[in-house]
Amino acid sequence: MKFIISILITSCILSCHRSNTTNMSKKSEEGNLLTRDTLPHQTIVKQLDLKINETSGLVIINDAYWTINDSGDKAQIYQFDMVSGKVTKTIKIREAKNKDWESLTQDDTHLYIGDFGNNTGGRNNLRIFKAEKSRLSKSEIKKTKTISFTYPDQDQFYSGYNHNFDCEAMVSKGDSLYLFSKNWLDARCKLYGLSKRPGPQTATLIDEFDAEGRITGASFNKEKNILYLLGYNRPDKYESFIWKITDWEDRNFFSGNKTRYELSIGRQTEGITVDSDGSLLISAEQNKGGYPSVFRVNL
């Protein structure tokens, strides 16, 4: 009798373990690992300076934190203090306009500002401003180069949220820039490549995958060769998530291993960057969920 009871208890434990494992993660139709874990976050700055209430990009340059506002602001970048949240320096970008700035990235010598926000799909002046990082010590950057581009798969323009040609995320790798689309229509994500050469060009469509949400930010951990994509599920209910991508081939990030993590932030998360300790810093705009803020997440 004791033997039978022991078997039943062991069977029950194994069954529960299998059930919990199934609930924790699953594979999507494309083979991506979808975790059921919700990653906790730490609030680093509860209230950023309201000068950067629509923070839409983050980078760290020489241990200083920089951000931008999206549409409606002047052509300016902001350095802010990660303790107080206050803006400590404002730099004007000459020969540039802020139609809808949405992303920041960098290489060893230049800062790239993505003016390619395209919510309603009607823009025909998508561009990236290229500024020398050595000039960040000044109050303004006068000589700014422009990379203008079009999408190779866009043959019509739109007037509403019924399209797949918005973009809010960009990273730099080698001699190229990589853009990640924010698909309003089908919640997938397209990967485009661009040369860093100033002037007009047509982006190269490399691949796409089912992001199961709208991608709003990207950051590249060069030391560990990891790409992070930030997004949220629905525009009316901000359920944030992160895709972690590793082991890709050549320049096709989407050929790698993709793992999705849900976040507990619940805000309109827009900016993401890798901090010096390898953790992720994520910024959120001011909206009905609260003040503009910065959070830390550890994977």
Q: What is the CATH number of the domain that holds 277?
A: 2.120.10
What is the structure's pLDDT at 175?
A: 97
φ, ψ of residue 268 in degrees (nearest 5):
-80, 85
Flag whether 15 is in a domain: no
What is the structure's pLDDT at 36?
A: 59
pTM above 0.85, yes or no: yes
Give the DSSP H/E element, type plus range, for residue 141.
Answer: strand 140-141
CA angle 250, 251, 252 (to 5 degrees): 100
Flag whether 4 is in a domain: no
| 210/189 Cα distance (integer angstroms) | 6
Q: Quick one: which of 76, 114, 77, 82 has its CA closest to 276?
A: 82
Check: CB of residue 204 under 8 Å from CB of residue 250.
Answer: no
Flag whether 18 is in a domain: no
Q: Render each residue's pLDDT in the chain as its tens digit; 299 residues.
A: 443 334 334 344 333 333 333 334 667 777 787 775 789 999 999 999 999 999 999 999 999 999 999 998 999 999 999 999 999 999 999 989 999 999 999 999 999 999 999 999 999 999 999 999 999 999 999 889 999 999 999 999 999 999 999 999 999 999 999 999 999 999 999 999 999 999 999 999 999 999 999 999 999 999 999 999 999 987 677 899 999 999 999 999 999 999 999 999 989 999 999 999 999 999 999 987 789 999 999 98
Q: What Å distances lie between residue 273 and 61, 95, 157, 169, CA to CA?
A: 11, 27, 32, 11
Flag whether 5 is in a domain: no
Q: What Å distances lie between residue 44 and 83, 129, 271, 293, CA to CA?
A: 7, 29, 14, 8
Flag whether 237 is in a domain: yes
Beta strands 87-93 and 140-141 are parallel
Flag whether 202 is in a domain: yes
Q: Which residue has the tokens 């009798």?
A: 1
Q: Quick one: which of 169, 128, 168 has its CA closest to 147?
A: 128
Flag whether 107 is in a domain: yes
Check: CB of residue 85 under 8 Å from CB of residue 78.
Answer: no
Question: Token pair of 202, please?
Answer: 């047509």
Q: Which residue has the tokens 């991608």?
A: 215
> Could you tell me the residue range of the domain that residue 187 belongs to?
27-297
| 82/152 Cα distance (integer angstroms) | 40
Q: For the chain, what is the domain count?
A: 1
Question: Token pair of 168, please?
Answer: 């809010």
What is the structure's pLDDT at 127?
A: 98
Question: Please, which residues bridge with residue 192 across strands?
Answer: 179, 205
Flag whether 103 is in a domain: yes
What is the structure's pLDDT at 91?
A: 97
